[in-house]
Amino acid sequence: MAEKLRFAIYWAASCGGCDIAVLEIGHNILKLAEAAEILFWPAAMDFKYKDVEALPDKSLDVCLFNGSVRNSENEHVARLLRAKSKVMVAFGSCAYEGCIPGLANLTNRGDILTCVYQETPSTDNHAGAMPQTHWAVPEGDLELPEFYDAVKTLAQVVPVEYFVPGCPPVAAQVWNVLQAIIAGQLPPPGAVVGVGTRNLCDECERVREGTKVKRFVRPHEVIADPQRCFLEQGIICAGPVTRAGCGRPCIHANMPCRGCYGPPEGVSDQGAKLLSAVMAIIDPEADVEQLVQQIVDPAGTFYRFSLPDSLLQQAKWLEVGKR
Amino acid sequence: MSNPDTIDPKFKDEVMAELGGEHLLRCYSCGTCVSMCLVSRVSSEFNPRRTMRMVMLGMRDEVFRNPTIWMCSACDLCYPHCPQGIHISELMRAIKNIAVRDGYEAPGPVAVVNEEECSGCDVCEKACPYGALSLVTKVFDGQQRKVSQVNKNLCMTCGICAAACPLSAITVEEYSNEKVAAQIQADGWLTEPAQRLPGEPQLLVFNCSWNLRADVDRAALTRFPPNVRVIVLPCSGRVDPIFILLALKSGVDGVLVAGCQPGQCHYKQGTRIAQGRMRILQQILDQMGLDMSRVRFVQIGTEERGRFPALVMQMLADLKARMEPANITA
């Protein structure tokens, strides 16, 4: 038998769902174990960073890196794994485009730390203690990772060969990607893999009749008609601006697409594109300002998964840089 | 004079029998409609008064052979001013309907759907103010797929669909995404330091093609200082928010989008769609901690002579004040 592939799987700023997504391939995990030796997977087995540091450079064939880069520890490990891996895969929406943790970029380090360590109702911090990166105690120096001002995607920190979208990637696509890796049949670097073609609407079986929107509603305010297009019911669905490939579990659960598979090919800003599409389908009789008010938390709605990887984020970094 | 052999005395009856054509004979050729008509300003061949008169005279062929009869965008600026209460855009539509039955076609250009990229999401059908787009089922490589189809006799090339299409699968060639992006970036306006006037802000303006009625305002478009770049699009509804973010991330200081007053929009709904997009975009910029005063949206009425150039210069002054060291906030 050929030599086994050498694998690493890591989580940075993530919820752990992407690690579970790997396990969700079910019995195929045995085929993975046959084809690959896993040298680092902290979420599943006991490894230490020093195990990775001890490896020669480029000695890992593939690293599946999930989670965004929130702090200096995330960045350190991203750089370490990059150096040790031939192929770096941004695995899941956090590593690919920033995802839910990326919504923290609507605020900043100072406000986040103040909120968490001083203002939350359950916090009692009279001394005003705040996390420090270094702290000397009689027993020695203690260190914590530095909390960054903004969440970054993996590709904003190190070069990345492939991107697997999804929050988390669905099991069928995870297995597709793993099979392609095992078979050595990956497309040219830079590709988004484990996806379908076009957008969600291309596969969606819901009926579209060209109905314009008189009122926007949030999913919890109505019981959606399970046969009809969500957008035509006034429920914001990110399907038109979301890459196909997930199999539409949300749609089948009568919930609109939230956009976790990221923008389709050629869309440079998923949030702005969804905004452009959604506000174009309004009914001529409806009051525009009322419709605008019906969209609660527009940044969170339109950029739910893609904020750090957006043009909006680049515009923000440019403005902050000029101040 | 027209050749008597080609006169069709029943033409007026045919138009009057068509939905929307009922009130043809009320017209006494006062010309108020033409004086209001924005299309007549840019294309003097388009003249609803003359068209109605020719219909009454039975000049069927001459009416249908005039390529401008397709240009009425049903903005309805003329309708409230017609002393006879003729809904002229409806009447023009009645004439177009008969023309289509006679085998005539609008000369174009029209929006073009790339069927390979189209997903059939149907956003364009809902966005189009003219009902010019609809889904059809076609077979590609043995597989049935729904794709959008343009009715070339209804399309007015406003570009609202192109801005709305999530996959950039619809293009109005003259105003394609690529061409607009190239205009934003042209001559290294935003990227080459040599192009910047020291201490002066750079302002990008997207203006619709129809909101400036006074010649003096139209002339102003070419007389702004070099740190103002005006991109004229058919409609403010063509402005994709991505254009604005692209300009902001490339270093522009401000973006002004100008459309028509609601109710006066040349493409009926474009300015409302732009209004919705711009309000939400401003909210998003604010949520993101960006200075939302850098992006403005204005709606200019047909009688607001001088307002557009004043707004541009005011925004330029405001952007400059923002750059003063005392006004830079941490």
**What is the average pLDDT across B212-235?**
93
A125 touches chain B (CB under 8 A): no
Interface test with B, best of A214, A215, A312, A318 (most B CBs within 10 A): A312
Boundary-marking domain end, from B172, B189, B208: B172
Same domain, B185 and B257: yes
Q: Taking the CB of residue A226, how many other CB atoms lie within 10 A of it? A: 10
Q: Do A50 and A154 reside in the same domain of the chain? A: yes
Q: Are A95 and A204 in the same domain?
A: no
User: Do residues B146 and B193 share a domain?
Assistant: no
| pLDDT beyond 80 at B2 | no
Domain CATH code at residue A158: 3.40.50.700
pTM (2 decimals)?
A: 0.94
Domain boundary among B172, B190, B211: B172
Min mean pLDDT across A222-226, B122-126, B214-218, B304-308 is at B214-218
- Identify the three-state secondary structure at position A91: strand
Put simply, the answer to whether B272 touches A282 (Cβ < 8 Å) is: yes
Interface of B with A in 267-306 (CB under 8 A): 268-269, 272-273, 275-277, 279-281, 283-285, 287-291
Q: Domain end: B67, B101, B135, which one? A: B101
Rg of chain B on CA atoms, in Å:
23
Judge contact between B260 and B278, C-beta under 8 A. Answer: no
* Angstrom distance (rounded) from CA B289 to CA A107: 7
Residues A187 and A261 in one domain: no
Q: Do A276 and B242 touch (CB under 8 A)?
A: yes
- Is residue A99 a contact partner of residue A168, using CB atoms and an 8 Å limit? no
pLDDT at residue A136, as a whole number: 94
Query: Domain range for residue B268?
Result: 176-325
A232 with A275, same domain? yes
Task: Say how many domains are in chain A.
Answer: 2
Radius of gyration of chain A (CA): 22
Q: Which one of A199, A232, A313 has the shortest CB-CB distance to B167?
A: A199
Residue B51 lies in a domain: yes
Please report whether residue B330 resides in a domain.
no
The fraction of chain B above a pLDDT of 70, given in percent, is 98
Chain A positions touching B329 (Cβ under 8 A) are 323
pLDDT at A119: 94
Residue B138 lies in a domain: yes
Residues B135 and B95 both lie in one domain: no
ipTM of the complex, rounded to two decimals: 0.95
Give the mean pLDDT of chain B: 93
Say yes or no: A20 and A77 in one domain: yes
Boundary (domain end) residue, out of A194, A222, A242: A194
d(CA B76, nearest CA chain A) in Å: 14
Residue B17 placed within a domain: yes
Indicate if A67 and A182 belong to the same structural domain.
yes
Residues B232 and B274 in one domain: yes
Instruction: Tell me the mean pLDDT in the region B98-110.
Output: 93
Encoded tokens for A319: 């403005």
Instruction: Tell me how crowded residue B215 is: count the other CB atoms within 10 A of its CB.
Output: 10
Query: At what angle are helices A311-322 and A270-278 packed, to 10 degrees?
Result: 120
Which of A202, A292, A316 lies nearest to residue B280, judging by beta carbons? Answer: A292
- Cβ-Cβ contacts under 8 Å, B123 against chain A: 231, 240, 277, 280-281
pLDDT score of B328 = 64
| Percent composition of chain B: helix, strand, coil (DSSP 3-state, to 5) | 45, 15, 40
Does residue B201 form part of some domain?
yes
Which one-letter amino acid corresponds to residue A317?
A: W
User: Which of B167, B246, B248 is closest, CB to CB, to A264?
Assistant: B167
Task: Give A229's contacts in chain B (Cβ within 8 Å).
Answer: 122
In this structure, the answer to whether residues B96 and B121 fall within a common structural domain is no
Our CA dihedral for B258, A292, B254, A313, rounded to 10 degrees, sits at -140
For residues B133 and B183, membership in a common domain is answered with no
Q: State the smallest CA–CA distance between residue A112 and chain B in angstroms.
A: 14
Give yes or no: residues B59 and B122 share one domain.
no
Residues B250/B288, Cβ–Cβ less than 8 Å: no
Is A279 part of the contact surface with chain B (CB cutoff 8 Å)? Answer: yes
Q: Decide if B177 touches A, using CB distance below 8 A.
A: no
A190 and A223 within one domain: no
Pick B249's closest partner by Cβ from A107, A264, A318. A318
Contact present, B158 and B217 (Cβ < 8 Å): no
- Which of these three, A174, A194, A214, is where a domain ends? A194
Is there a single domain that holds both residue A172 and residue A297? no
pLDDT at B324 over 90: no
Interatomic CA distance for residues B177 and A269, integer angstroms: 13
A204 and A187 in a common domain: no
In this structure, the answer to whether residues B225 and B270 fall within a common structural domain is yes
Residues 6 or more apart from A70 whose CB is under 8 A from it?
Answer: A12, A13, A101, A104, A147, A148, A151
DSSP-derived secondary structure letter, B253? S
Domain boundary among A153, A176, A194: A194
Beta-ladder partners of B146: B137
Same domain, B77 and B130: no
Residues of B in contact with A212 (CB under 8 A): 126
Residues of A in contact with B328 (CB under 8 A): 323
Q: Which two three-digit tokens encode residue A254? A: 């009568």
CB pair distance less than 8 Å for B242 and A108:
no
Mutate to test the interface with A, among B115, B123, B135, B246 (most CBs of A within 10 A): B123
- To the nearest whole Å, the CA of B156 is away from the closest chain A CA by 16
Claim to verify: residue A68 and residue A47 sit in the same structural domain: yes
Same domain, B244 and B229: yes
- Chain B residues whose beta carbon lies within 8 Å of the beta carbon of residue A107: 289
CATH number at residue B141: 3.30.70.20
- Based on the fold, state whether residues A190 and A236 are members of the same structural domain: no
Q: Assess whether B115 and B36 both reside in one domain.
A: no
Beta strands in B84-188 (DSSP E): 112-113, 133-140, 143-150, 170-171
Three-state DSSP state, B4: helix
Q: In angstroms, rounded to a whole number, what is the distance separating the alpha carbons of residues B147 and B116?
A: 9
Of A136-140, B43-47, B109-113, the one with minimum mean pLDDT is B43-47
Interface of B with A in 88-127 (CB under 8 A): 117, 119-123, 125-127
User: For residue B195, what pLDDT band results from cuts at 50, 70 and 90?
Assistant: confident
Same domain for A91 and A220, yes or no, is no
Domain of residue B10, CATH code: 1.10.1060.10
Number of neighbouring beta carbons within 10 Å of residue A154: 30
Q: How many domains does chain B have?
A: 3
B245 occurs within a structural domain: yes
The mean pLDDT values, 10 residues at a time, for chain A of 323 residues are 87 96 95 94 92 96 98 98 98 98 96 95 92 94 96 98 98 97 95 95 94 96 97 97 97 97 95 98 96 97 98 95 81
Report pLDDT for B330: 46
User: Do B114 and B206 reside in the same domain of the chain?
Assistant: no
Q: Give the structural domain span for A268.
A: 200-322
Q: What is the pLDDT of residue B136?
A: 96
